[in-house]
Amino acid sequence: MTAHPAWYVVQVAPNMESSAQSNLTRQRYQVKHLKCIERRIRSGRPIDWIAPLFPGYIFVSLTPNQPWGEIIRTKHVTDILKADGEPAPLPSDVAEGWLGRADCTGLIGFARRRYALGTRLKVTGGPFESHVGSFDGLDSDGRLGILFTVMGRQCRVPVDEAQIEAA
């Protein structure tokens, strides 16, 4: 009976995620380096920047009985997340949740549609269903920030993209 592979968290040297990924891929490991797009200001202008989603960490797929010492000895790898001295696999729901959202380059696309700040959006589900508010950017979890006027005050509420439409 063949054991099913699981994903493991591998710690790498600072800013060496791509290098460690290349080194492990050359050794025929299946590796994911998750990235996201951040909005940064460069020379006074906003730009989209590809940044690690989990700086200092990548993910490697292993079967439970596969030797892992070779991974630790790989250049730019510093450790593998362990429990009781043995590599600890990611729970399958966590692995599917994060790794399943990534494209073939490891890029996680939080918001697929782009909205200009101030765009009027209508909530189609959840506790704010049928309310209309203004787009106020993305939060760190990739949810859309919507500004609503509640009792005369502006209130920012995070909303999943699947629960909105243009007003």
Specify the DSSP element, H or E, that contains 156: strand 153-159
Last residue of a domain, one of 99, 132, 150: 99
In a domain, 110, yes or no: no
Q: What are the residues facing 37 on neighbouring strands?
A: 50
Q: Do 132 and 68 belong to one domain?
A: no
Q: Does one domain contain both 154 and 84?
A: no
Same domain for 132 and 66, yes or no, is no
- pLDDT for 142 equals 64
pLDDT digits (tens, 9 = 90+) for 89-127: 999 888 888 888 788 888 886 655 678 888 999 998 888
80 and 143 both lie in a single domain: no
Q: Does residue 113 fall inside a structural domain?
A: no
Say if residue 82 is in the same domain as residue 10.
yes
CB neighbours of 57 closer than 8 A, spacing ≥ 6?
9, 10, 11, 12, 17
Same domain, 35 and 94: yes
Number of domains in the chain: 2
Q: Is residue 35 part of a domain?
A: yes
Mean pLDDT of the chain: 86
The residues facing 7 across adjacent strands are 61
**Geometric angle at alpha carbon 96, from 92 and 101, rounded to 5°:** 165
Instruction: Verify that 82 and 47 share a domain, yes or no.
Output: yes
Tell whether 115 is covered by a domain: no
Residue 149 belongs to what domain range?
120-166
Average pLDDT of the segment spanning 4-13: 94
Residue 15 lies in a domain: yes
